[in-house]
Every structure is written in C-alpha cells, then in structure tokens.
Amino acid sequence: MTEIISSNKNDKIKYLKKLYSSSKRKKKGKFVLEGFRLIKQAYQSDAKFDYLFVTDSFAKSREYQEIISDSKLKDKEFLITENLLNELSDTINPQGIIAVVSEINYKIDEIVNNSEKILVLDRIQDPGNLGTIIRTAAASGFDAIISLKGTVDIYNLKVLRATAGAIFNIDFLNKLDYNMFNKYLKNDLANYQLVCSDPISENYYHKVNYDNKVILVIGNEGNGIRNDLLDKSDLKIKIPLKNGIESINAAMAAGILMYQINTK
C-alpha cells in the first residue's frame, strides 16, 4: 500500500465509477458503500469486499485501524487522494472511505424458511423512503423484504444511507420481476396472508386480525399498489386520516402498519 491513486483514469477507479449506475451494478453483481459507519456494518455482517479505497489520513485513524488492521481485508486496500475521493463520492462528506462489495443473493426458499413476516414493495420511488422502510422493517421484527421491479434500487447510495446500515440486518430480494413474484405467491408464499395497504379499503388497520404468516404490501407514493396485486389480496387495510389530511408519507405508513402487525 505505497502508491496513492490520484487519477480517475486508473483502472480500479474506472471500475468503481461504473458501479454508481444501477444497471452496471446489477450486471456486475457489485455495489458501492461510502463512509465508515456503513462499511463497518458491512464488515461485521460478513459482506464480501472487493476493494477499499481509503485516504491516507483516514487509513491512519484509530477507528479504521481497529476494524481493518488485523483483518482479511489488507489486500483489498488502496490509498486514494482526498481530491479523487471527493470527486467520486455521492456523499458531501464521504469520511475518507469508499468500498466495493458483492451483492448479497438471498434465495426465495431461504426467505420462506426463515420468515413469518415479509414486506413487499411495489414501485416505491423515493430513495429516502425506501431506506427508511428497510430500517423500520428490520427494527419492527419483519424478517424479509421483497422489492418488486420498478422500485428504486436497494443498492442506490441514498437508499443505503437512509437504512443507517439496516440493509445488513434483514434478508431481501431486490428488483424481483412481478411475474416471478406471482409464481412465488402460488407456491412458496401460498400460505401467507396477503395484506395490502389501500386508502380506499373499508378496514382500519388496527381493527382487523392478522395471521402469523403475513405478507404486507406497500405501494407507490402516488399511485399505490397495482390493481392486479390488490385483486389477489386476502385483506385490504387503511390508516385513519383526520383533520382533513389526505395522505401520509409512504414510509410512515409502512412503519405504522409493520409495528401494528408485530405488536398486536
């Protein structure tokens, strides 16, 4: 670790830059993490690291030394100039470190075996919303997340930041094709209660009964859940809205419903 990378023409840096695009990430099966907090959580959850790009000053910091010094990551480390790191980074303050990590591939049968409560996301658009939903899903005791194609990429950096690291505390399927999800619904997921959040439902969420095995679906911020999926639901629920308010934030709705289901 003697050379300090300063050019964005460097091959490793060119590779890293590609991973800032969602389609390139998917193709390579890799994603980017920025900042020590997220990277520490990835490390502690046994994520597979390809590269660690670290500034000289951060490499000498105590927090970095404590995590990485006696680790198996020594041969993944590359020093990088502060200027180049700031140029690459999506964050205003990337805290001196960027990592490239392999995607985590959960399988549907693992998820079914380990999950009583599964959250399904149908085209959530806002990265902050998605990250907050993931964080709250894990906190509430939901076991897994299935994110349908059309939802913002879970590996988007804004999403990862908003999870506050919780992405490493819950199983998930990212960008699942809707036809594939329908096959799962008929087979692997057939004995779950399919509960859809739907503002025009007649059932208040706190006055209904939930099974032990629940799939909760949250839909797009503007348009809700697609009709085909609503039609398949076992139960539609809504959150009461007072004082003339017409809607609440989608992440908030998800959190209120998940906590209700898990504390009832």
Contacts to its own copies by CB under 8 A: 128, 132, 135-136, 138-141, 164, 166, 169-170, 204, 206, 239-245, 247-249, 251-252, 255-256, 259-260, 262-263
How many CA atoms within 13 Å lie on the side-chain side of 264?
Answer: 15
Q: Which of 158, 162, 3 is nearest to 84 (CA)?
A: 3
- The residue among 50 and 116 lying less far from its own copies, judged by its C-beta, is 116
Task: Provide, rounded to whole angstroms, the least separation between the CB of residue 256 and its own copies.
Answer: 5
- The residue among 5 and 139 lying less far from its own copies, judged by its C-beta, is 139
- The residue among 117 and 236 lying less far from its own copies, judged by its C-beta, is 117
Q: How far apart are CA 219 and CA 226, in angstroms?
A: 7
Q: How far apart are CA 173 and CA 155, in angstroms?
A: 11
Q: How far apart are CA 58 and CA 167, in angstroms?
A: 24
Task: Provide, rounded to whole angstroms, the least separation between the CB of residue 143 and its own copies.
Answer: 8
Cα–Cα distances in Å, from 163 out to 90, 97, 112, 153?
16, 18, 23, 13
Task: Provide, rounded to whole angstroms, the least separation between the CB of residue 16 and its own copies.
Answer: 28
Task: Provide, rounded to whole angstroms, the least separation between the CB of residue 113 and its own copies.
Answer: 17
- The residue among 3 and 246 lying less far from its own copies, judged by its C-beta, is 246
